Amino acid sequence: MIKDNLKHGINAKFDEKLKELNKFLPTANPAEGGCAEITLTSILEILEIQGGVINNIMIPLSSGFGGYKSQTGQAGPCGVVCGGCAAIGVILGGKEKMESNLVPLTYQKAASFCSEFEKAFGSIFCPDLCRYDFSDPKVIVEYIENNIWGDVCYKFVIWAVDKVRNMMQTELEENW
């Protein structure tokens, strides 16, 4: 009975957060934090973990590692993918440094999350998903003016929060 209450409690918190995100995100300003930060902190709020340092860690990971492009032209991953993988690590490891025996499982879960994201959206790379190359800092203005966040990118956050919940249900029930 207690486990059922916990299960219902965490799922209810996820449901509430998803409703909030669906209402808030389409009109949010992506320049206020970015997709990586919003993805991770949305899940951390459900788990009742907060702290500005976490937000600050995640902000540069948005827009494909801040618009990173390698010398061979490879772009960085979508910030939502980074945020989802970070959330998986928190759920598995808890509030303290993760025990080494959980690291391989964390890698496996993160890889599975990335694979599912790619199946759902066709890529994990930021420019492929939003059609904007953030390696040019001027592009963010066009991205915002064309409401790409409100038409496209926020949906990735919603998907990721729900996917992390579903992938990590057992761990959420056991650890949170």
- Work out the average pLDDT over 72-89: 96
Mean pLDDT, residues 105-117: 98
Specify the higher pLDDT residue, 50 or 17. Answer: 17
* Residue ranges covered by each domain of the chain: 2-175
> In the predicted model, is pLDDT for residue 48 greater than 70?
yes
pTM over 0.85: yes
- 8 A C-beta contact, residue 154 and residue 25: yes
Which tens digits make up the pLDDT trace of 18-47? 999 999 999 998 878 889 999 999 999 999
Please check the confidence at residue 50 and state whether its pLDDT lies above 90.
no
Distance CA(47)–CA(59), nearest Å, equals 20
